[in-house]
Amino acid sequence: MSVTGGPSRLRVGFVMLHTSPLDVPGTKDAGGMNVVVLAQAEALARAGHAIRIFTRRADPAAAARVELTPGLEVVHIDAGPARLLAKAEHEPVMAEFGAQLAAELAREPADVLHAEHWFSGIAALPVARRTGTPLVQSFHSIAVPEGSALPGERPESPGRLAGERRLAREADALIAVSEAERGTIVADLGGAPERVCVVPLGVDTELFRPCHTRECAERDEWFARGGAAEVIAVGRLHPLKGFDLALDALAAIPAARRPALRIVGAPPPDGDDYARGLHEQAARLGLLGSVAFEGALPRPELAARIRRATLMVVPSHTETFGLVALEAAASGVPVVARAAGGLREAVRDGETGVLVRGDDPREWAAVIAALLDDPERMAAMSRAARAHALGRSWGASAESLLAAYRGLLAARAGAGPVVSDGAAGARATRCG
Amino acid sequence: MSVTGGPSRLRVGFVMLHTSPLDVPGTKDAGGMNVVVLAQAEALARAGHAIRIFTRRADPAAAARVELTPGLEVVHIDAGPARLLAKAEHEPVMAEFGAQLAAELAREPADVLHAEHWFSGIAALPVARRTGTPLVQSFHSIAVPEGSALPGERPESPGRLAGERRLAREADALIAVSEAERGTIVADLGGAPERVCVVPLGVDTELFRPCHTRECAERDEWFARGGAAEVIAVGRLHPLKGFDLALDALAAIPAARRPALRIVGAPPPDGDDYARGLHEQAARLGLLGSVAFEGALPRPELAARIRRATLMVVPSHTETFGLVALEAAASGVPVVARAAGGLREAVRDGETGVLVRGDDPREWAAVIAALLDDPERMAAMSRAARAHALGRSWGASAESLLAAYRGLLAARAGAGPVVSDGAAGARATRCG
């Protein structure tokens, strides 16, 4: 990267209104976003930058400021009641949060504000404008346009799509985690292509590692003695994840060659209808002896499960990025995934796994069974997958994010590479 | 033990008609019995004795004789079709198996025959009589008398109870794994008390070990950060195991203090009605986010799950021995178990766990929640449990079995301690 906008030590303010980086992913409202923000923030702090994460106080006992690592601080902002709020309860507190954020920035300015999720963006936008701080927006997930929701999906808050469209127009830079998300931001939200920067997520290749311990040796011996292979599927029990297709595919594999299927994930807080349906489907298909429903797991346990699996399956209808597929790769586990969204980038088709088009369980079954029957191909994929993941560290992800910040600051200063887009010229940017 | 009947190197023939010691427990018909017989046979072979395990050939490709370790050989006996048979299909092949066993013993005699399960006993009894070899019988499980079965339990084969009663009268020694089983053999089967020897099972304290790896450190940190504790329950999904009570108890713990419940075990081959019911019950109680249904696991994986759990719960209506409770103890995991059958011996109440009387889910919930709230008591129980298990090796179990063999041989020779029981005087024995 040759872009050098801004001071050498950047002061970055992450804004994460509705969930705390101190919460454990899988508890409260903490999930993938918490993992991503914390990992990027830590990597930026390690690179010498000064990072604050602004989050709403949901716990009356939490300290006002908590230093997580040198250069990385969590700042709790009082806005609304100091308790956990349901997602929909956040919209009324956005304005109050913005006002308090402005006060924090008045005391201690930031070179860049980076808003996570649209709540944070809408809260931060006026503050950014008033203080002249460039605003970078990450969506994490983007509202499905009306009428295109899957059966069982909750209708979106009406404010969300409008909020996301506004941010796509007004934020100074938009971060996409994949070319697929870039396409969505441009096509569905009207974001200007030259302001969308693709910053792929990273993976913790220490936590997600291939299986070389005594326990795995014991397991491999069991497999060698005729134990069934194990296919793993990871994610919340939500219709978007397509786990019903995985069950149908499993049933389509003849019993003698059938692997076990392990589903790791809990129902989302807003309902367990889909989870109930999966349990019923497994019973109906006679698969209760072949399917494990694991519930949510702490990340170290999740990593342990993935590295013990033979194969991962990702039948999600769409994934913005497909982090679990990258976590499987880091664990040396080949992935069979749907050719959709960011999964097309997360899996190298034929190299680190196989991409499948469509919803035919027999086709999924055939792909899975063929891979399990070909240990040499699996071993080659396992090696390629680990190598692929090793190039996708969080440090690399943070470096790419930094390039986006620098590009923005350079453009602002008129000193760096600017891509003029006419009307929005002063806010134009370019990514790395 | 001062008993020294028989030669210093005993030739022992284990008879295990219907399941092969070469099968992996959890596959085919292999289960707890396979673990027990193999572990005792290995320990006896290590102690210098010559052990053969006679089993029916279910695989046409299997070699006639397979040496497992020095001094331990599996002998495949042709009787009936060389394929896996359903349990009920074994009764017609018992006689043929007995005839082939006699031929094997004619070529190479045994000092003691030890029959596992009633199929084997009935097949071996005439052979033992004809060759003058003492017959030792282990039941592994004993038929529930008519009318006392639980709802959902299959009615017993009519031959079984009669077969077990005959063996209790006619075998030269009867092995019970607990005082509880001893009581059943005497009271329900009419076994003479002085011919019943209690030989407790052992536990592999290498495989079942406390959790001290990097993964467990990662998990402990997660617990310390507020993650939920995990309660584990292990066994086939069969009404006898009482897992429905565990679900009700979980639901009776307030959500904020509720641990996760992990159920490890598959439905038995003869039906998944109970498993379906458990999935439905979990959905009805709103517990799909708190319960993991794991299916069956290879033993190394089972051991890994147990050592990671905070607590084990054993709500079985009865257990002859309660091996999983001992496996938990070896893993340093306290156990909450029903005060029934062998569980009263496997768990030292108040020391390595807590015994609960009755079926009130609120009482089970109170005991579980109180333990989870008392880390100091849990730590003390964990230490006591591991220490308890270390005294219960398979070597110790085999030594106790050997004492039973020796007592029998000494009594036969009229050279050792004999307990006269009148009519059966010549076959009387005493245990250790």
DSSP notation for A93-154: GHHHHHHHHHHHHHHS--SEEEEEHHHHHHHHHHHHHHHT--EEEE-SS-PPPTT-PPTTPP
A220 to chain B, any CB pair closer than 8 A? The answer is no
**C-alpha angle B112/B118/B124, rounded to 5°?**
40
**Is residue A176 within 8 Å of A199, Cβ to Cβ?**
yes
Reading phi first (left if > 0) and then psi (alpha if -120 to 50, else beta), residue B144 is in beta
Q: B192-223 in b/e burial notation, b at 16+ Cβ within 10 A?
A: bebbbbbbbbbbbbebbbbbebebbebbeebe
Structural domain spans, chain A:
11-202+394-427, 214-390
Bridge partner list, B11: B50
Is it true that B11-202+394-427 and B214-390 share their CATH fold? yes
Task: Write down how long chain A is.
Answer: 432
A210 to chain B, any CB pair closer than 8 A? The answer is no
The per-residue pLDDT string of chain A (432 residues; one tens digit each, 9 = 90 and over) reads 445 788 899 999 999 998 888 776 555 566 678 889 999 999 999 999 999 999 999 989 889 999 999 999 999 999 999 988 887 788 889 999 999 999 999 999 999 999 999 999 999 999 999 999 999 999 987 776 655 555 445 556 778 889 999 999 999 999 999 999 999 999 999 999 999 999 999 999 999 999 876 667 766 666 666 667 899 999 989 999 999 999 999 999 999 899 999 999 999 877 899 999 999 999 999 999 999 999 888 888 899 899 999 999 999 998 889 999 999 999 999 999 999 999 999 999 999 999 999 999 999 999 999 999 998 999 999 999 999 999 999 999 999 999 999 999 998 887 544 443 433 444 445 564
- Euclidean distance between CA atoms B72 and B87, whole angstroms: 26
**Is residue A85 within 8 Å of A19, Cβ to Cβ?**
no
All residues of chain A having their beta carbon less than 8 Å from the beta carbon of residue B295 are 260, 262, 288-292
Band (B417; pLDDT cuts 50, 70, 90): very low
List C-alpha distances in Å: B263 to A284, B156, B305.
Answer: 20, 26, 10
pLDDT > 90? residue B34:
no
With a CB-CB cutoff of 8 Å, which residues 139-198 of chain B face chain A?
none
Bridge partner list, B263: B233, B293
Domain at B11-202+394-427: CATH architecture: 3-Layer(aba) Sandwich (3.40)
Which chain B residue's Cα is nearest to A213? Answer: B213
Among B248, B280, B247, smallest CA distance to B263 is for B247
Write down the ipTM of this complex: 0.74
pLDDT of residue A149: 55
Place of tokens 């990514």: A431
What fold does the segment set B214-390 form as a domain?
Answer: Rossmann fold (3.40.50)
List C-alpha distances in Å: B378 to B12, B99, B333, B384.
Answer: 43, 55, 8, 10
B295 to chain A, any CB pair closer than 8 A? The answer is yes
- Euclidean distance between CA atoms A398 and A418, whole angstroms: 22
The average confidence (pLDDT) of chain B is 88
Terminal C-alpha separation, chain B: 6
User: Using the beta-carbon criterion (under 8 Å), do B213 and A218 form an inter-chain contact?
Assistant: no
User: Using the beta-carbon criterion (under 8 Å), do A279 and B282 form an inter-chain contact?
Assistant: yes
A276 to chain B, any CB pair closer than 8 A? The answer is yes
pLDDT in tens, B191-247: 999 999 999 999 999 999 998 766 677 666 666 666 678 999 999 899 999 999 999
Question: Tokens in use for A362?
Answer: 């027999």
- Euclidean distance between CA atoms A174 and B421, whole angstroms: 91
Mapping DSSP to helix (H, G, I), strand (E, B) and coil, where does residue A69 land? strand
User: Using the beta-carbon criterion (under 8 Å), do B272 and A293 form an inter-chain contact?
Assistant: no
**Is residue A329 within 8 Å of A386, Cβ to Cβ?**
yes
What are residue A202's phi and psi, to 5 degrees? -115, -175
**Is residue B266 within 8 Å of B295, Cβ to Cβ?**
yes
List, as one string, the DSSP characters of B306-339: HHH-SEEEE--S--SS-HHHHHHHHTT--EEEES
**Is residue B209 within 8 Å of B239, Cβ to Cβ?**
no
| Identity of the residue in A218, A289, A298 whose CB atom sits nearest the CB atom of B227 | A298
| Identity of the residue in A237, A286, A289 whose CB atom sits nearest the CB atom of B295 | A289
